[in-house]
A and B are shown apart, each in its own frame.
Chain A
Amino acid sequence: MSDYNFAYLDEQTKRMIRRAILKGLAVPGYQVPFASREMPMPYGWGTGGVQVSAATLTPEDRLKVIDQGADDTTNAVSIRKFFERTAGVATTEATQEATVIQTRHRIPEAELTEDQILVYQVPIPEPLRFLEPRKTETRKMHSLQEYGLMHVKLYEDISQHGAISTAYAYPVRVADRYVMDPSPIPKFDNPKMEMAAIQLFGAGREQRIYAVPPYTRVVSLDFEDHPFEATKADHPCDLCGAGDSYLDEVIMDDAGNRMFVCSDTDYCRSRREEAA
């Protein structure tokens, strides 16, 4: 344990990251550059989220890590182990018991409270990236609030598919100012982003941190005649019967059988335990 500083990163690095986090909270949705460190995991596995978590954790914290809603998948298990070893913090799978939740691509079903921090892993923080390749230009577009191009993408969706087919990483406008990529969460989760907990976003490879403070207005972009819709599979969970949770579709065999289960494993388990 003494081989590592608390939570792996050295204190100066954590201070640097905390400064970026504070700046991000002060300017909701604005991408703050930070000196991202090499982490002992490949880019794309949550190096940004891990650094934000490391700078956020205190010895008293209780950490939960989810990957696509699940506590038991590779990414979640290895990051949880990483902090168990390097920070020695308590961990949990129960959403309500956690103080810091690092997530990849989901917001937990249970409502979060003011005592919690949600840390997102972000692959590409720039919502305009695939529309405008020049970074100098996207920065200028953000500073001048020129967001018409974002709607061009939604227009293309409707013209090709008859509806806005963007199903994840659905662009939002934060506090009526910055357009932000909410990381690849399903658009089902977008309305939950106006929440009591602090939301921090870390992109390690792209070296950006951004944040949404509690109770901040987060609006999903749409057209007047094609309003935003939070969609999910039209089915209840086959394990716990929940009709209000986001579902994974699981292929059961090669005869076309499939089942739908909650993507939030903790939510599903606690519902089944209650019922039992």
Chain B
Amino acid sequence: MSPLLQVAGIEKRYGARIGCTDVSFDLYPGEVMGIVGESGSGKSTLLNCLAGHLAPDAGRVIFDTRHMGPVDTVTMSEPERRMLSRTDWAFVHQHARDGLRMSVSAGGNIGERLMAVGDRHYGRIRAAALDWLDRVEIDGARIDDRPSAFSGGMQQRLQIARNLVTGPRLVFMDEPTGGLDVSVQARLLDLLRGLVRRMGLSAIIVTHDLAVVRLLADRLMVMKDGRVVESGLTDQVLDDPQHGYTQLLVSSVLQV
């Protein structure tokens, strides 16, 4: 099996400061990669470089596209990259407000990607929106409500539905459970795990919450000061941390 995403030597600098440097990994279809580390360790910078929101200063991000085979998304033209981010990629923001159109109804939010790729049949778009509301456990009766009338957890689920409606193969998630209370987090994680498994999605999840990666991620990378200090299978890294920083990270989680 060939990797879906090959990342080689990604580096991003902010002037003299390092955002992230020398990050390389392969992601295979159906695999979920977790990236953990403290605030400022370069996780989000890395994710934004991979998703094409930031231009890395060095390195390659090779994505196995449906039609053209493996292509370097860093050097690909902007229209192609934007097309990719509407079809095969999805990006779940930490704050649902960044990923949703707050002035557009839930149905319109879900339908936007379908219309962006050329669907011009209202009935079909509506049916897809209802189907996806159901899949993310939002009552279909709320299809015409605006996201501003939704709770934080519902907004986050709506954002996920909006992203997955075009059947992407790779999902980038930036702290998907940040800012939600624990019971809502648990429900969201349960939902995400189900969707990822059922749709065979590959995902890259950035978080500082070790419980999230424990539940979702197959593999784990630990970042500190812009570098990857340790990587491996999730259980292996969390149960037997080798690097001093990982040991600190694992031991600083409160045991209830």
Q: Using a CB–CB distance below 8 Å, which chain A residues touch chain B?
A: 131, 144, 146, 148-149, 151-152, 155-156, 158-160, 222-226
Known: A224-B121, A225-B122. A149 touches B112 (CB 8 A): yes
Q: Give the distance to chain A from B118, nearest Cβ to Cβ, in Å.
A: 8
| A144 and B112 within 8 A (CB) | no
> Complex: how many Å from CA A15 to CA B210?
66
A226 lies within 8 A of B104 (CB): no
The answer to whether A155 touches B125, judged by C-beta atoms less than 8 angstroms apart, is: yes
Does A148 lie within 8 Å of B112, measured CB to CB? Answer: yes
- Beta-carbon nearest neighbor of A130 in chain B: B103
| 0/1 string, B80-95, CB within 8 A of A gives 1 | 0010000000000000
Q: Which residues of B contact A131 (CB under 8 A)?
A: 101
- Determine whether the beta carbon of A159 is less than 8 Å from that of B143: yes
Cα–Cα distance between A144 and B116 once the two chains are bound (Å): 12
B66 within 8 A of A: no
Q: Mark B85-124, 1 if CB is under 8 A from A, else 0.
A: 0000000000000000100110110011101111011110
Residues of B within 8 A of A (CB): 78-79, 82, 101, 104-105, 107-108, 111-113, 115-118, 120-123, 125-126, 143-144
- Note all chain A residues with C-beta closer than 8 A to B143: 159
- CB pair A152 B122 closer than 8 Å: no
- Given the interface pairs A144-B82, A146-B116, A152-B115, the reply to whether A158 lies near B122 with Cβ below 8 Å is yes
With A223-B122, A226-B122 in contact, do A159 and B107 touch (Cβ < 8 Å)?
A: yes
- Measured in the bound complex, the distance between the Cα atoms of B110 and A156 in whole Å is 12
Nearest A residue (CB) for B79 = A144
- Distance, CA A151 to CA B120, complexed state (A): 8
Q: Could you list 9 A-B pairs, sorted by A, with CB under 8 Å?
A: A146-B82, A146-B116, A148-B118, A149-B115, A152-B104, A155-B111, A155-B115, A223-B121, A225-B122
B144 contacts which chain A residues (CB < 8 A)?
159-160
Contact assessment for B104 and A156 in the assembled complex, using a CB-CB cutoff below 8 Å? yes
Nearest-CB residue, chain B, relative to A151:
B115
Q: How far is the CA of A170 from the CA of B184 in the complex (A)?
A: 42
Are B120 and A224 interface neighbours, CB within 8 A? Answer: yes
B77's nearest neighbour on chain A, judged by CB, is: A144
The residues of B that contact A151 with a CB separation of less than 8 Å are 115, 120
Whether B78 contacts A148 by the Cβ 8 Å rule is: no
Give the docked Cα–Cα distance between A144 and B143 (Å).
Answer: 30
Q: How far is the CA of A158 from the CA of B79 in the complex (A)?
A: 30
Q: How far is the CB of B68 from chain A (nearest CB, A)?
A: 18
- Are A155 and B108 neighbours in the complex by a CB distance under 8 Å? yes
Cα(A225)–Cα(B122), bound, Å: 6
Cβ–Cβ contact B121 & A225, under 8 A: yes
Q: Which 8 residue pairs spanning A and B have beta carbons closest together? A: A148-B116, A148-B115, A151-B115, A223-B122, A224-B121, A144-B79, A152-B108, A225-B123
Q: How far is the CB of B225 from chain A (nearest CB, A)?
A: 33
* Residue pair A155, B79 in contact (C-beta under 8 Å): no
A155 x B107 contact (CB < 8 A) = yes
With A155-B108, A223-B121, A224-B120 given, name 15 new contacts (CB 8 A).
Answer: A144-B82, A146-B116, A148-B115, A148-B116, A149-B115, A151-B115, A151-B120, A152-B115, A155-B122, A156-B105, A159-B108, A159-B144, A222-B120, A223-B120, A225-B122
Among B79, B104, B108, B111, the most chain A Cβ lie within 10 Å of the Cβ of B108
Chain B residues within an 8 Å CB radius of A144? 78-79, 82
C-alpha gap A34/B116 in the complex (Å): 31
B126 neighbours in A (Cβ, 8 Å): 159
* CA–CA, A152 and B117, complex, Å: 12
Query: How long is the Cα–Cα vector from A212 to B105 in the complex, in angstroms?
Result: 34
Q: How far is the CA of A217 from the CA of B105 in the complex (A)?
A: 32
Bound Cα distance A33, B33 (Å): 47
Measured between beta carbons, the chain B residues less than 8 angstroms from A155 are: 107-108, 111, 115, 122, 125
For the complex, give the distance between the alpha carbons of A152 and B118 in Å: 12
Q: Which residue of A lies closest to B114 (CB)?
A: A148
A152 to B122, CA, bound (A): 10
- Please report the C-alpha to C-alpha distance between residue A155 and residue B121 in the assembled complex, in whole angstroms: 10
Neighbouring B residues of A146 by C-beta, 8 Å: 82, 116
Contacting residues, chain B, for A158 (C-beta < 8 A)? 122
